[in-house]
Amino acid sequence: MHLTSLLLLPLALAAPSTDVTKRTVGVWKSTLYPNYLNIVKQETPDAKVCTGYTGQVNWSGPGTTNEIRLFVGFDVPAGAGNTCFIKFELPKKVPYAYEWTVLGPGKIDVWSLKNPFVNCQVSWNNRPEKVPGPAFQITQPSGPNGGKATVTGAGIPCKKGQRQDFELTIRADNLPGFFDWYELNDPVAGITLQTWNY
């Protein structure tokens, strides 16, 4: 299933971004769109969720119990590049489009997973273990013009011919934050995986 190929709205939300414009070595191979977007909520810890079209991440502060995390899965083709980077951006807000939201500092941590999550089976209580330390950190402009996020983090090996999964959380810096967007491939809006050969 190719999630973004089903999307019909004329405009919407974000596409992830490692700032590839700053990469001077290597050959870009492909842009991959998510096949799975699974939102898990601390408030309903045993609810098993299937993939959707929107991304949502939330943390309201210490002591709260309404955190929301997003699991993102990409089917990486065998012919993809060797090194993968996350990209994220939000388009300019326009009338009649899905109105994306970024509240707080606009920061997300992107974690690799030790094992893939299972679509329609993942929940808050059974979510897979993260690899220690975020693979990428997203900082997204929050004004109405959107724009490309600043993404930091070294590239990671692409799992060619396999699923490559991530967990998105609000940056753990004690500052509340909220993201909500609709994933699209034309115009690009949401999180993507960029593959490169180095």
Domains of the chain: 3-92+100-197 (2.60.120)
Residue 24's pLDDT band (cuts 50, 70, 90): low
Q: What percentage of the chain has pLDDT greater than the value 90? A: 72
Residues 6+ apart with CB under 8 A from 132: none
On whether the CB atoms of residues 36 and 73 are closer than 8 A, the answer is yes
DSSP label at 9?
Answer: -
Report pLDDT for 107: 96
Report pLDDT for 26: 87
Please compute the mean of the pLDDT values over residues 175-181 and round it to a whole number: 95
pLDDT at residue 192 is higher than 50: yes
Q: pLDDT tens, 39-69?
A: 999 999 999 999 999 999 999 988 899 999 9
Q: Smallest Cα–Cα separation from 116: which of 159, 77, 175, 78?
A: 159
Residue 106's pLDDT band (cuts 50, 70, 90): very high
pLDDT at residue 185 is higher than 50: yes
pLDDT at residue 147 is higher than 50: yes
Average pLDDT, the chain: 88
On whether the CB atoms of residues 106 and 142 are closer than 8 A, the answer is yes
Q: Which amino acid is at 171?
A: R
| Stated pTM of the model | 0.86
Report pLDDT for 46: 98
pLDDT at residue 14 is higher than 50: no
